[in-house]
Chain A
Amino acid sequence: MSAEATHDTAPVLEVRGLRKSFGDRRVLDGVDLVVPAGSITAVLGPSGCGKTTLLRIVAGFEHPDAGTVTVRGVRVAGEGTDVPPERRRVGVVPQEGALFPHLDVRRNVGFGLPRGAASTERIRACLELVGLADRADARPDQLSGGQQQRVALARALAPNPSLVVLDEPFSALDTALRAKVRDEVVGALRAAGATAVFVTHDQEEALSTADRVGVLLNGRVAQCGEPIELYRAPASIEVARFLGEAVVLPGELDRDVVRCALGAVVPGSVPPGASSGSFLTVVVRPEQIVPSADGVGATAGETTYFGHDGLVRLHLDDGTEVDARWAPPLLPRPGDRVGVRVVGEVAVYAAPGPGR
């Protein structure tokens, strides 16, 4: 839909060293983020970690204490500059649609556009993009939550913004609808060729939807990259713990493997400066622990059943407890003896971890 975004190779959004405190609470502590053109980036973090603050600073509703924000190469915030929101051309889709209650859908979508025939066409096009061209005359309170979100997106896209930011856009929807609306919204964004940043605390959402994910922990972006990279090679133990379940074990480097309670495991990469004998921390994903006749011995404990798989608590012979994720046919009964081993590469970190 909007042609410019896709051909531009420079990053649409660059955030450098952003700091923000509220009172004596340091919310953002040196955030760096780069969002390439045409991509959908997710900023993932636990509740209260400052993701919304980050969004508000990018959109222009808060002012950073330090650091800069640059949109399309133009500095909009930081170091003396402060471009007001109305001139930044950053579209906002908040948590709950927040459609203007006194306007119908058409006027909502057209709010940021000048009057005229060109705008009428643009409104129609944007509504079609989100699949609601037939509800143009409806009032917001006649729409469902999901529909309101989509209208909010159309509204944000209509004035052709440089960037669209979405604040936990799907968390207000019930689970059944969530995936469907998510797909529609993401589809609309891609079809429009828009560059989008959305914040969420839902890992599944971030990992399955975005091109790139930035994990915001302790006021900083701990890691930013493609979802699979983040999952397989988390940059730190905190990131590892945050993304998916993590089994954290102490280990010792032995040439090219690491020995730990689950046996010999293959590290994805070895921390610099480590050599045989160095103490390391190993992070294994539960789905990497598979049953094996000649693996490490363990006694099965409680199983938590999820439908498509189950998480079984294993008591290893040496006393360590780990969780393994197995498909239903393989799930043991409590008390059964099993053998386990680790498949695939594991993440390994320098400092000896605090155990579990």
Chain B
Amino acid sequence: MTTAVATGSRARRRRVELPPWQLLGPTVVVALVALAPIWYLVDQALDRGWGPAIEEVAQRRTVDLVVRSTALAGFVTLATVLVGAAAAWIVARSDLPGRRVLRVAFAMPLAVPSYLSAFAWVSWDPSIAGFWGAALVLVATSYPYVYLPVVAALGRIDPAQEEIARSLGWGEGRIAVGLTLRQARPAVLAGALLVAQYAYMDFGAVATMRYEAFTWVVYGAYRAGFNPTRAALLSVVLVAVSIVLVTAEGIARGRVDASRVGGGAARRGRPVRLGRATGPAAVFVVVVLGVALAFPVVSVVSWSLWRGGEAVAFGEVFSALWATVGVSAIAALVTAVAALPVGLLAARYRGWIARRLEQATYVAHTLPGIVLAISMVYVGVRLLRPVYQELPLLALAYVVAFLPLLVGSVRAAVEAVPERLEDIARSLGTSRSGAWWRVTLPAARPGIAAGTALVFLATMKELPITLLLRPTGTETLATRLWGHTTLSDYSAAAPFALTLLVVAAVPTALLSGLLLVRGREDGGHVG
């Protein structure tokens, strides 16, 4: 009907022309900044020339490690897609009681750092270490990256299609998998890419679980081998992996038209009755939240019960909290500013340049924290000496590390705003860039805010970059936590861990709450 006509004309309208310089300029600058680590890595890797470089990389062991990391990443990605999509479906489309609470609860594992979760598990049962332990922790801490965009996408889907499918004889299960979730495919793909990259680059979980992954040897090359060249070479391999992942996601996404056409709030479909499936669904919920959320939190709480007579250093906790919130807020804001032009460009333009620029911001995301940290040390010391180990460079490093989280959110949020609105704004006298500023970005605000909250959260938990680049004398909750756990002083670490979890819960709740606004439960407007 109207949808079909609009889609047709919309497909014609995919811009292949060049974006205006007001958009292209900032995007190029941001992309170049995001590629800074690559520049360092290539420089460092070729320090001794091409010959030794190739020899170092072309070893049997390198291939073995790539295979091991790929096996882990592959399993984790698959598992998070299943868990995240199932959780999103339960919250958005089923009639399981307590859905409102679950909507926020499912996002909460984002607040738990992977090193914390891994440590809690391996302390409880050391035999869990190895592949399965690492996979467990990685799935538990990263499935929200799939869950959040899918639950948002499900809120935008037209329920009429499900009703038609039912009338054609499709069972509920088939509809859920073959129709509903299928429509959320771009969201799933975007989340899956982030999870895959995360699985390759995470160090906390694989180190604690002693699973020999690629990041292991990268860290080893830095901290045990004191060999930055070797580390850089190994990192270049990770960059190559990242390029493959990003390209694959781009190809898979390219075939699907991301946004729902047709303005206005979506009409909510009737929730699907679970009936006999209520039991299994409830079990699923309990298992996921138990493993990912309840267990780490309870473990940390139990640490704080081993008080051993030492008073809690409230002063230290408070100043660490203050520093953490301050630094994370600045990082989130700067990243948001950087991500706006990139996300806008990626959403509105389809040319070769637009795609490469967007992908450029993702490429460095597979690099382990220590690689980003060392790259920014290198760049900082040579180009930005006055702000080295000062807040500006630290913020810049966070931007490089977390830009993809926000670019994805901005892009998805802008894609959901019909281009028609910009046309209308122009017909009313606003220039094209004025229309973006006055119409598109404000309309995309909830999605952009959610992405900003995500970066805020990631920065709060971050460790390697913070350790190397923080202003001397500044401690965050994460660095304090780390300091105490290296001494095995868990009772002293507990207050910092608890504070981190509690404070991180705030942006997480906001994240899932912000997405709540989109798909209103009370049914939008009357036709």
Interchain CB contact (< 8 A) of A102 among B6, B431, B445, B520: B445
**B472 CB-CB contact with A under 8 Å:** no
* Contact between chains at A96 and B262 (CB < 8 Å): yes
Return B11 CB to nearest CB of chain A, in Å.
10
With A85-B423, A91-B427, A98-B421 as given contacts, are A144 and B443 in contact (CB-CB < 8 Å)? no
A174–B431 Cα distance when bound, in Å, is 35
**B426 CB-CB contact with A under 8 Å:** yes
With A59-B423, A100-B439, A172-B2 as given contacts, are A159 and B428 in contact (CB-CB < 8 Å)? yes
* Contact between chains at A98 and B418 (CB < 8 Å): yes
* Contact between chains at A144 and B525 (CB < 8 Å): yes
* Contact between chains at A92 and B427 (CB < 8 Å): yes
Looking at A22, A48, A89, A96, which has the most chain B CB atoms within 10 Å of its CB?
A96
**B173 CB-CB contact with A under 8 Å:** no
* Contact between chains at B2 and A95 (CB < 8 Å): yes
A101–B9 Cα distance when bound, in Å, is 22
Q: List 20 A-B contacts (CB under 8 A).
A: A48-B8, A56-B423, A84-B426, A86-B426, A86-B427, A86-B428, A86-B434, A89-B429, A92-B423, A95-B2, A96-B262, A98-B263, A98-B420, A100-B425, A100-B442, A101-B263, A112-B427, A141-B520, A141-B525, A173-B527
Residue of A nearest to B11 (CB): A22
* Contact between chains at B525 and A143 (CB < 8 Å): yes
* B406-443 vs A, Cβ < 8 Å mask (1 yes, 0 no): 00000000000010110111111111101000110011
Contacts of A85 on B, CB cut-off 8 Å? Answer: 423, 426-427
With A48-B5, A96-B2, A144-B526 as given contacts, are A91 and B443 in contact (CB-CB < 8 Å)? no
Contacts of A99 on B, CB cut-off 8 Å? Answer: 263
Contacts of B524 on A, CB cut-off 8 Å? Answer: 141
**A9 CB-CB contact with B under 8 Å:** no
Return B139 CB to nearest CB of chain A, in Å.
36
Contacts of B425 on A, CB cut-off 8 Å? Answer: 100, 111
With A98-B418, A101-B443 as given contacts, are A92 and B527 in contact (CB-CB < 8 Å)? no
Contacts of B6 on A, CB cut-off 8 Å? Answer: 95
Contacts of B432 on A, CB cut-off 8 Å? Answer: 84, 86
With A96-B262, A100-B443, A102-B442 as given contacts, are A47 and B5 in contact (CB-CB < 8 Å)? yes
* Contact between chains at A112 and B525 (CB < 8 Å): no
A168–B445 Cα distance when bound, in Å, is 30
Contacts of B439 on A, CB cut-off 8 Å? Answer: 100
* Contact between chains at A155 and B525 (CB < 8 Å): no
Contacts of B264 on A, CB cut-off 8 Å? Answer: 96-97, 140-141, 148
Return B183 CB to nearest CB of chain A, in Å.
20
With A144-B526, A174-B527 as given contacts, are A100 and B428 in contact (CB-CB < 8 Å)? no
Contacts of B426 on A, CB cut-off 8 Å? Answer: 60-61, 84-86
Contacts of A100 on B, CB cut-off 8 Å? Answer: 421, 425, 439, 442-443
Contacts of B9 on A, CB cut-off 8 Å? Answer: 52-53
* A141-164 vs B, Cβ < 8 Å mask (1 yes, 0 no): 111110010000001100101000
Q: Which 9 A-B pairs have the closest CB atoms?
A: A112-B428, A85-B426, A92-B427, A102-B442, A112-B429, A86-B426, A141-B265, A102-B443, A98-B420
Number of interface residues of A (CB under 8 A): 46
A-B pair number, CB within 8 angstroms? 101
Residues 162-176 of A at the B interface (beta carbon under 8 Å)? 168, 171-174
**B255 CB-CB contact with A under 8 Å:** no
Return B156 CB to nearest CB of chain A, in Å.
13
Which bucket holds chain B's interface residue count?
20 to 34
Residue of B nearest to A114 (CB): B429
With A85-B423, A101-B443 as given contacts, are A96 and B8 in contact (CB-CB < 8 Å)? no
Contacts of A174 on B, CB cut-off 8 Å? Answer: 527
* Contact between chains at A86 and B429 (CB < 8 Å): yes
A-B contacts besides A61-B423, A85-B426, 12 pairs, CB < 8 Å: A48-B5, A60-B426, A60-B427, A61-B426, A86-B434, A96-B263, A97-B264, A98-B424, A112-B427, A141-B264, A148-B525, A156-B427
* Contact between chains at A52 and B424 (CB < 8 Å): no
Contacts of B424 on A, CB cut-off 8 Å? Answer: 92, 94, 98, 155
Return A157 CB to nearest CB of chain B, in Å.
11
A84–B426 Cα distance when bound, in Å, is 8
**A90 CB-CB contact with B under 8 Å:** yes
A111–B442 Cα distance when bound, in Å, is 14
* Contact between chains at A144 and B527 (CB < 8 Å): yes
Residue of B nearest to A103 (CB): B442
Residues 114-159 of A at the B interface (beta carbon under 8 Å)? 140-145, 148, 155-156, 159
* Contact between chains at B527 and A86 (CB < 8 Å): no
Contacts of A60 on B, CB cut-off 8 Å? Answer: 426-427
Contacts of A111 on B, CB cut-off 8 Å? Answer: 425, 428, 430, 438
* B6-26 vs A, Cβ < 8 Å mask (1 yes, 0 no): 101100100000000000000
Residue of B nearest to A47 (CB): B5
A148–B421 Cα distance when bound, in Å, is 14
* Contact between chains at B427 and A90 (CB < 8 Å): yes
